[in-house]
């Protein structure tokens, strides 16, 4: 059976899509071909790296990437992780399944360092749950 190709997209490819890519790689054990990208790549957020390390997933070697149209047209599933309407998630090609996870951008969290890190953890945990559910769904 060919591997499912999954692409996680958000605006900066710095937090949510990077965490989703990391969990998808870790949880599927190579069963999926996983990528992430953004409409305006902004570099991987150090707090995303930190909270993923807490969860046992190393994304420190990830890089922030722009959307590759060839890849976008060749995947089975695109998961968009844009949280609010002000963000610009791209249109996906016909025939590619699109799933939307409307998660807040933890990079926009305000407050003390503890409060901001807590916002990253909340989003991280939600992404892990959603990736796990997607894994079960696609295995059927």
Catalytic residue among 7, 10, 77, 107: 10
Catalytic residue flag (residue 89)? yes
Catalytic residue flag (residue 82)? yes
Catalytic residue flag (residue 10)? yes
pLDDT (0 to 100) of residue 86 = 43
| 35 token code pair | 């990528």
Helices in the chain by DSSP H: which ranges? 16-28, 46-54, 69-74, 113-139
Q: Walk across the sheet containing 4-10 and list its strands.
A: 32-38, 4-10, 77-80, 97-100
**Chain mean position to CA 65:** 12
pLDDT (0 to 100) of residue 11 = 85
Catalytic residue among 82, 107, 131, 134: 82
In degrees and rounded to multiples of 5, residue 8 shows phi and psi of -100, 125
Catalytic residue among 20, 34, 48, 89: 89
**pLDDT exceeds 50 at position 109:** yes
Q: What band does 116 get if pLDDT is binned at 50, 70 and 90?
A: very high
Closest CA to 10 of 115, 99, 122: 99
pLDDT digits (tens, 9 = 90+) for 44-55: 999 999 999 999
Are the CB atoms for 23 and 128 separated by under 8 Å? Answer: yes
Parse the chain into domains and list their residue ranges: 4-139
The DSSP code sequence of 97-125 is EEEE-----GGG--SSHHHHHHHHHHHHH
| 25 token code pair | 């790689």
Distance CA 89, CA 82 (A): 6
pLDDT digits (tens, 9 = 90+) for 58-106: 999 999 999 888 888 899 999 988 765 445 666 677 888 989 898 999 9
CATH fold group of domain 4-139: Rossmann fold (3.40.50)
């Amino acid at each position: 059976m060919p591997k499912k190709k999954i692409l996680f997209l958000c605006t900066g490819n710095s937090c949510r899509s990077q965490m989703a890519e990391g969990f998808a790689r870790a949880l599927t054990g190579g069963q999926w071909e996983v990528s992430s990208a953004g409409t305006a790549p902004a570099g991987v957020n150090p707090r995303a790296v930190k909270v993923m390390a807490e969860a046992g997933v190393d994304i420190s070697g990830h890089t922030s990437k722009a959307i590759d149209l060839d890849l976008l047209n060749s995947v089975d599933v695109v998961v968009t992780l844009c949280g609010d309407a002000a963000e610009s998630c791209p249109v996906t090609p016909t025939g590619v399944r699109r799933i939307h996870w409307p998660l807040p951008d933890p990079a926009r969290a305000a407050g003390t360092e503890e409060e901001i890190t807590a916002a990253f953890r909340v989003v991280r945990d939600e992404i892990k749950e959603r990736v796990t559910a997607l894994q079960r769904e696609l295995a059927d």
